[in-house]
Amino acid sequence: MHKKDLTITAIFSAAAVILEALPIKLPFPLLSYLTFDLAEIPVFFLLFYSGPKPALLSATLLAIVLFGLGSFVPIGPAFKFFAVASSVLGATPLFKKSLAGSFVVSTISRVIVMSVANYVLIEFFMPGFLSYVGEFAGLNPFNSILILTAVFNIIQNSFSFFIAYALYIKIKKRTGWI
């Protein structure tokens, strides 16, 4: 990686950490332990600007900081990393060719990875958690969690992906430096 890419990665990684630390979080009303935040926007911006390696490095740096400062350690930071990294990796094959295709594959990748992660967490490490979750749409608590988590991930990925892309295009047009 060139010095320029490392510098930009460091700046946007710091922005991701700052946005994660800010108390600007909106709980997902159907599963309040899931919160929408702004921290993924700089990571996606890096994907559009510099490519997948800087974006994945930024996701990794964000997770490392969250392991030291985050909540629900180690699960929260690990799950944040799984979500962001799977989104970036999913977007990677198409991000320069098709915005819509990149978004769809990114979202599908995130939903699959996070569904598997939640399955493993609940099934093997926190089976008692299901007693706190009610039924949703007539589904048992376990399926309710997986479906509602998928909905959350679709919304979060949509928000982060398209805000980052809009910022990327706006900056590119205004400055010409991209």
The structural domains of the chain, with segments of one domain joined by +, span 3-175
Residue type, 77: P
Tokens (6 digits) for 16: 């991701």
Identify the DSSP state of 122.
I
pLDDT exceeds cutoff 70 at 177: no
Q: Please state, in angstroms and rounded to a whole number, the distance separating the CA atoms of residues 150 and 112.
A: 8
Q: Is residue 62 within 8 Å of residue 84, measured between CB atoms?
A: yes
Buried b (16+ CB within 10 A) or exposed e, 65-75: bbeeebeeeee
Establish whether the linkage from the previous residue to 74 is cis, with ω within 30° of 0: yes
Q: What is the pLDDT of residues 6-47, one digit of tens each?
A: 999 999 999 999 999 998 899 999 888 899 999 999 999 999
Residue 82, CA distances (Å) to 2, 78, 122, 132 in order: 26, 6, 16, 24
DSSP 61-84: HHHHHHHHH-SSTTHHHHHHHHHH
In CATH, the number for domain 3-175 is: 1.10.1760.20
Distance of CA 176 to the CA centre of its chain: 28
d(CA 53, CA 43): 11
Q: Check pLDDT > 80 for residue 170.
A: yes
CA distance 136 to 156: 20
Predicted structure pTM score: 0.91
Q: Which of 84-88, 92-96, 99-103 has the lowest mean pLDDT?
A: 92-96
Which one-letter amino acid corresponds to residue 117? Answer: A
The per-residue pLDDT for range 121-147, each reduced to its tens digit, is 998 988 887 766 666 666 788 888 899
